[in-house]
Amino acid sequence: MNERDKGTEEKIVQAARAVFLRKGYNGARMQEIADEAGTNKALLHYYFRSKDRLFEVIFLQSFSQFFPKVSTILTGNEPLPVKVVSFVEHYIDLLRENPYLPQFILSEVSRDPESVPRLFQAAGLNPEWFMGQLANIGQGVFPPGSDVRHFILNMLSMCIFPFAARPLLTRVMFSGDDAAYENFLDQRKREVSSACLQLLSPTAGQR
């Protein structure tokens, strides 16, 4: 794999990413990837041995993209609300630039759940450490009996679901007007931030 390969190999990777993200592993065709890359099927097999291996490259890339480098956010000194708002805004920006990412990750993980530990390993991420950090941060903010995970999950749900369900929501909530939904998503950085802050603020005996 010398330098001169990089041109076509990179073209193939980009094409594969575009097709796999839209169609998923089962829906994607090697022929379509070749077309999109402006070459032929044989070259795909020359650079990557099989459809499986090519997919693995894309899946791993996407996976580590989907789990952002939150280390900096977690280990920062800012108070929790600031961290939350910062996370929400950055993450929704990321998803707006990669609209197919959520549905892709969800589908493919559900197709092959066993791959998750390996992917974390390969991406250099450690879920246990991650959850541990969250538990620490939650100290004193959440009532002792409560589970920080519910708050985290609420936050992630509100960020990710609108993108994963986009084709459906566009038609249900905006009669198929895609531009209107795009505009709606634009407001969500502020909406979700606001909602998360509200969930953080202690209220009288809600649970």
Partner DNA sequence: GTCTATATCGGGATAGAC
Partner DNA sequence: GTCTATCCCGATATAGAC
Q: State the binding partner of 31 from a second copy, DNA, none, CB within 5 to 8 A by kind.
A: DNA
Do 166 and 50 meet the contact criterion of CB atoms below 8 Å apart? no
For the chain, the residue count is 207
Q: Which position among 22, 50, 146, 180 is part of the footprint of DNA (CB under 7 A)? A: 50
Q: Is 159 exposed, middle or buried (0-12, 13-18, 19+ CB in 10 A)?
A: buried
Q: State in Å, rounded, how far the first CA of the chain is from the last one.
A: 59
Residue 41 in contact with DNA, rule: CB under 7 A: yes
The C-alpha atoms of residue 22 and residue 99 are separated, in whole angstroms, by 10
Choose one: 31-39, 52-60, 79-87, 145-153; the region binding a second copy (CB under 8 A): 145-153
Residues contacting a second copy: total by CB under 8 A = 57
**Residue from 31, 50, 156, 177 that binds a second copy (CB under 8 A)?**
156
Of 4 and 207, which CB lies nearer to DNA in the complex structure?
Answer: 4
Q: Write down the least CB distance from residue 72 to a second copy, Å.
A: 19
Report the C-alpha gap between 143 and 2 in whole angstroms.
Answer: 57
Segment contacting DNA (CB under 7 A): 42-50, 83-91, 116-124, 192-200? 42-50
Q: Which residues contact 113 (CB under 8 A, 6 or more apart)?
A: none
Among 14, 18, 24, 30, binds DNA (CB under 7 A): 30
Nearer to a second copy, 84 or 170 (CB): 170
């630039």: which residue's tokens? 97
- x/- binding map, residues 74-113, to DNA, per CB under 7 A? ----------------------------------------
Which of 40, 106, 121, 143 binds a second copy (CB under 8 A)? It is: 106
DSSP codes joined into one string, 17-28: HHHHHHHHHHH-
Contact status: 1 vs DNA (CB under 7 A):
yes
Interface with a second copy, residue 203, by CB under 8 A: yes
Q: H or E element: which one contains 74? A: helix 71-75
When binding is defined by CB under 7 A, the residue of 13, 20, 51, 170 that contacts DNA is 51
Our finding on whether 8 is near DNA (CB under 7 A) is yes
Nearer to a second copy, 27 or 38 (CB): 27
Angle 31-33-34 (CA atoms, 0-180°, nearest 5)? 65
- At 73, which amino acid appears? I
